[in-house]
Amino acid sequence: MSLLNIILLIALPIAGILGYFVRAYLGRIKLNSAEAKSHRILNDALKEAENKRKELLIEAKDQLLKEKNLLEKEIRERRQELQAAEKRLFQKEESIDKKLEQIEKQEKILQLREQEIQEKDEELRKEFERHKQELERISGMTSEEAKKLLLKNIENEVKLDASRIINKIEEDARRIADKKSKEIIISAIQRNASDYTSETTITTVSLPSDEMKGRIIGREGRNIRTLENLTGVDMIIDDTPEVVVISGFDPVRREIARLSLERLIQNGRIHPARIEEVVARVTREINEVMLEEGEKAAYELGIPGLSKETLNNIGKLKFRSSYGQNVLSHSKDVANLAGIMAGELKLDVQLSKRAGLLHDIGKGSVVEGEGSHAIIGAEMAKKFGESDICVNIIASHHNDREPESFEAVLVQVADAISASRPGARRESLDTYLKRLSNLENIAADFKGVERCYAIQAGRELRVIVDNDLVSDERAEEMAREIAVRIESELKYPGIVRVTLIRETRIIDYAR
């Protein structure tokens, strides 16, 4: 090994040791320098924070001083305002005191004047009494006796003159009115050319063959029973070939039953579900027809502004009859007659025609209980928004109320003219209809009754009750109670059969 190598071997470890100590020394120097620097930074931050604190404290004091000055200024302004208000109040108080003093002076003056007036009144009264006594002494009568004598003489003279004038006026008016009224009524009848219709209580439906009778009756009579229950009529199927007779006092029900039966026959499918569907559809169609008939009548007569409910009830009259006379035709007849006479007398034509058309509207609705159709119709008209004078005309057309207008008297006359034409009415039908209506009203008074129909010319009352409200035991009792009440309240030939129907219907759907 050479000397150089030996030196290198010795020098390398020494150099490493020296390098270690040099690095350690340099690291200690850097650490001391960092600590000193951190101390300087910390001291600077403390000084800066102290300065900032002092600045903020000064700013806060300045802000408080400003707010204090503003508050003092506002207080001074408020104090000035209060002083000004106090001054104004003081001035007003002084003004009020002055006015009170003036009022007191005026009251004293008025009291003095009132006292003077009373003294003058007393003087005038004494003077009047003196003159009165002087006049009584001269005439030999008291003032009351003279007054009565004077009034009696004037009254006798006025009565005599008034009696002469009234007799002359009545005689002239009677002569002129009799002649004029005849002319007006004759003219109205001649100018109003209308037909009358007489209706019956039965309707016949022709069948394509006698085999159809069995299908209408159905198994165990279920088809015809369903049809009768839904329409409220009595269907008579006898030996008469190819004919079914529909009996019922309500023309609307008969029409629904007739149209329903004709459609069922035409379709060929007759069973309870189909019957219910057809009857419901026909009922809706009949309601539409009634509305159309009401609109048609109003258009023909030139009567605007009738509500939908009013038109619908007018249309119902097409299916009603009174003493065999169609009520809608009669109502239009009355409207035309009343309008013509009102025109001749220079009265309200529109009001007369309107009230004439509506005068029998009460006959178009089924109303529970007793009551004149005139009063019922008046209540309906009032509900539908008709004027008070029109309502009075309807209520008074049979003298159920006192007429309040000339138009009301015209409608009474027109109603009598329309009903008095030869063959227009039959007295027996109205009595018959009233009896059937009374039968239905008796049943309708019982709780739980849904529908009731008088059929077979009043020989049977069919009552349909609510299954939830009426039990089987109650149904038997109710049928007997209805029969007893009919026996006690109505007079009728023969017997009346009460048929009470309580049905349980359960419906479900397979999907």
Flag whether pLDDT at 406 surpasses 80. yes
pLDDT at 44: 81
Is residue 8 very low, low, confident or very high in pLDDT (cuts 50, 70, 90)?
A: low
> Considering the domain boundaries, does residue 126 fall inside one?
no
Per-residue pLDDT of 138-153, as tens digits, reads 766 666 776 777 777 7
Residue 401 and residue 307 share a domain:
yes
End-of-domain residue from the set 65, 91, 121? 121
Evaluate whether residue 499 is within a structural domain. yes
* CA atoms of 197 and 218, how far apart (whole Å): 36
Task: Please check whether residues 439 and 349 belong to one and the same domain.
Answer: no
* Residue 197, in any domain of the structure: no
Per cent of the chain over pLDDT 70 is: 81
Shared domain for 310 and 401, answered yes or no, is yes
Inter-residue contact 415 to 359 (CB < 8 Å): yes
Let me know whether 242 and 96 are in one domain.
no
79 & 1 share domain: yes
> What pLDDT score does 139 carry?
65
**pLDDT tens digit sequence for 21-43:** 767 667 677 676 777 777 888 88
**Token pair of 298 as six digits:** 């109003």
Structure tokens at 308: 């939908």
Q: Would 450 be classed as within a structural domain?
A: yes
Q: State the distance between the two ends of the chain, measured CA to CA, in whole angstroms.
A: 114
d(CA 281, CA 265): 15
pLDDT score for 165: 79
> How many structural domains compose the chain?
4
Are residues 471 and 395 both part of a single domain?
A: no
Tell me: do 334 and 384 sit in the same domain. Answer: yes
Domain membership flag for residue 127: no
Distance of CA 404 to the CA centre of its chain: 25
Whether the predicted pLDDT of 277 surpasses 80:
yes
Q: Which segment, 45-49, 161-165, 204-208, 431-435, is predicted with the most confidence on average?
A: 45-49
Tens digits of residue pLDDT in 298-309 = 888 888 888 888
Predicted confidence at residue 185, as pLDDT, reads 55
Query: Would you say residue 48 has pLDDT above 80?
Result: yes
Which one, of 289, 293, 378, lies nearest residue 328 by Cα?
293
> Within this chain, do residues 76 and 114 fall inside the same structural domain, yes or no?
yes
pLDDT at residue 192, rounded to an integer = 52
Span 498-510, mean pLDDT? 80
Is 324 in the same domain as 270?
Answer: yes
Q: How many CA atoms lie within 13 A of 437 on its CB side?
A: 19
Q: What is the pLDDT of residue 177?
A: 58
Query: In whole angstroms, what is the distance from residue 377 CA to residue 364 CA?
Result: 9
384 shares a domain with 269: yes
- How does DSSP classify residue 450? E
Is the same domain home to 481 and 401? no
Question: Of 167, 189, 211, at which residue does a domain stop?
Answer: 189
Q: How far apart are CA 257 and CA 234, in angstroms?
A: 9
Residues in the chain: 511
Question: pLDDT tens across 319-370, in order?
Answer: 777 666 778 888 888 888 888 888 888 888 898 888 888 888 887 765 433 4
Range with the poorest average pLDDT among 27-36, 252-261, 348-357, 407-416: 27-36
Which pLDDT score, from 0 to 100, does residue 182 have? Answer: 52
Count the alpha carbons within 13 Å of 201 in the hemisphere toward its beta carbon.
Answer: 20
What element of type H or E holds 321? strand 321-322
Residue 453 confidence (pLDDT): 87
pLDDT in tens, 162-188: 767 777 776 766 666 555 655 555 555
pLDDT given for residue 424 in this prediction: 47
Distance CA 113, CA 121 (A): 12
Sequence-separated contacts (24+) of 266-273 with Cβ below 8 Å: 270/215, 270/216, 270/218, 270/223, 271/218, 271/223, 272/218, 272/222, 272/223, 272/226
The reply to whether 136 falls in a domain is: no
Share of the chain above pLDDT 90, in %: 2
| Mean pLDDT over each residue of the chain, to the nearest integer | 79
Q: Is the dihedral of CA 141, 145, 149, 150 positive or negative?
A: positive
Which residues constitute the domain of residue 396?
Answer: 202-425
pLDDT tens readout for residues 71-102: 988 998 999 999 988 888 888 888 888 888 88
Alpha helices in 197-317 (DSSP H): 211-217, 222-231, 251-267, 272-301, 308-316
User: Residue 504's pLDDT is what?
Assistant: 77
pLDDT, residue 430, reads: 59
Identify the helix (H) or strand (E) that includes residue 235.
strand 234-236
Residue 10 lies in a domain: yes
Q: What is the DSSP letter of 198?
A: B
CA–CA separation, 321 vs 317, rounded Å? Answer: 8
Of 103 and 344, more confident: 103
Q: Flag whether pLDDT at 4 surpasses 70.
A: no
> Strand pairing of 202-206 and 243-247?
antiparallel
Domain of residue 375, CATH code: 1.10.3210.10
Which of residues 382, 401, 425 is at a domain's end? Answer: 425
**Residue 81, domain member (yes or no):** yes
- In the prediction, which pLDDT does 174 show? 64
pLDDT digits (tens, 9 = 90+) for 432-483: 677 788 888 898 889 889 888 887 667 788 999 988 888 888 888 899 999 8
- Residue 423 has what pLDDT? 47
Answer yes or no: do 438 and 382 share one domain.
no
Q: Extract the tokens encoding 444.
A: 């309708």
DSSP state of 208: S
